[in-house]
Chain A
Amino acid sequence: MKEIAVQKNIEALLPSPVRMKQMPEEPEKSFGDILKSSMDKVSQLGREANQAVQALTTGQKTDIHGTMIALEKASVSFQLMMEVRNKAIDAYKEVARMSV
């Protein structure tokens, strides 16, 4: 429960109303599934950034702004993932501290 509340808090902080509309209407996936698919997307962004850097260094494609943008996207999404991880762990600790 706390986790879902935390997740909604984080979503509320992020400035993109469009994303809200993209939330799937299908049967509810567990938080773990959502987290896993998000992490796949983050690593996908990281891979794309790697490929962009490779193309730039080998001189195959000297697209400077594209590479920089890919790197930034990967960096920002990694940061977001780390923050989410921190919040999730904090939430778990909070729950674990509840006296039975």
Chain B
Amino acid sequence: MEPQGIFSGTIPLLEKTLDLRSIKHNLIISNVANIDTPNYKAFDIIIKEELEKAMGAEKNIKLEKTRSGHLTGKESYLGNVKSGATGDQQFSLRFDGNSVDIDREMANLSENNLMYNALAQIISKKFEGLKNVIKGGR
């Protein structure tokens, strides 16, 4: 009987996604702060790809199969998060070489915010469920 066994399941997935969403948040607000900086190219990360890398999967994430031993530790997967100017953010439509599109950044900000809140809520509910079971419904 391993106490850590009760945290296997979707909880590690949620943790990693929360970390990735934090990173993405920081990149988005960097883009917003640098909206008038000449020759600045907007940065972004793609959550789905980064999550798949972090969970050690090659295709879609299937928790039961892939988790055994591919994760080496928190810092190492975060150190490999690839971020950079993606797709059409690499070249700019503006005179000063800046490629930040404020509307896209605002939309990304809202979406990221919402997803982060949702994930925090979900993981909270998961813990609540575990506590409930442990107390035996008393």
Contact = CB atoms under 8 A, between A and B. Distances in A.
**Direct A–B contact present (CB less than 8 angstroms):** yes
Interface of A: 7, 10-11, 13-16, 18-19, 22, 34-35, 37-38, 41-42, 45, 63, 65-66, 69, 72-73, 76-77, 79-81, 83-84
Contacts of B134: 76, 79-80, 83
Interface stretch (B4-12, B32-40, B86-94): B4-12
B123 interface: yes
Contacts of B30: none
B118 to A, nearest CB: 13
B29 interface: no
A14 B3 contact: no
B18 A65 contact: yes
Interface of B: 1-9, 11, 15, 18-19, 22, 63-64, 74, 120, 123, 127, 129-131, 133-136
Given A13-B136, A38-B1, A41-B4, A65 B22 contact: yes
Contacts of A63: 19, 22
| Residue with the greatest number of chain A CB neighbours at <10 A, chosen from B18, B130, B133 | B130
B136 to A, nearest CB: 7
Given A41-B3, A65-B22, A76 B131 contact: yes
A78 B4 CA distance: 11
A77 B64 contact: no
